[in-house]
Amino acid sequence: MKIFKGTGPILGVMEIAAECERKAGLWEVRVPQLGDLVFSSRRLDSAAEQIKDLVHENQGVERCDVIVKIETSLPGIVCDLEAAQEKMQESRRLQEEASREIRDIVARLRTEGLSMRDIGVLLQISPQRVAQLTETV
């Protein structure tokens, strides 16, 4: 499964696709856009920097105008990563939902005439935190 795929130059920016495969503790990096250049690197970030240097030296494109798109296959791991990212996204959504609900509860309790201290005791938070939640309603 490909994670990223380069597309070519956009608005003066050069996109370079780097096909990376893990072999014997190193990344074997193949760059079709640079004459099928193949080299090894310990880390993907180092490979991207090497590619930027080569493009700058050989084609005169500024390093900041080179975007390296890393393509790699890591079966199983990519699926696990995608599942974990989906869970993280869902947890952020649930956190935002819970925060809205707590703010609503604080507002309703204040409308009922409860003090900040009483609300703090009920929600097991400090009166200062209750005040913060009241300010954001």
If you average pLDDT over residues 26-49, what whole number do you get? 95
Domain of residue 37 covers 14-74
User: Edge-to-edge, what's the strand order for the sheet holding 26-31?
Assistant: 37-41, 26-31, 14-23, 66-72
Give whole-number Cα distances, 53 to 18, 23, 62, in Å. Answer: 14, 23, 9
Task: Read off the CATH number of the domain in which 24 is found.
Answer: 3.30.2390.10
When divided into structural domains, the chain yields a total of 2
- 1 lies in some domain: no
Residues 19 and 66 in one domain: yes
Predicted confidence band of residue 11 (pLDDT cuts 50, 70, 90): low
Evaluate if pTM is beyond 0.75: no
Residues 63-110: tens digit of each pLDDT: 999 999 999 878 778 788 889 999 999 999 999 999 999 999 999 999
Q: CA torsion 22→24→25→29, rounded to 10°?
A: -40
Radius of gyration of the chain (CA): 26
Tell me whether residue 111 is in a domain: yes
Confidence of residue 6 (pLDDT cuts 50, 70, 90): very low
Q: Band of the pLDDT at 1, cuts 50, 70, 90? A: very low
User: Is there a single domain that holds both residue 66 and residue 20?
Assistant: yes
pLDDT at 34 (0 to 100): 92
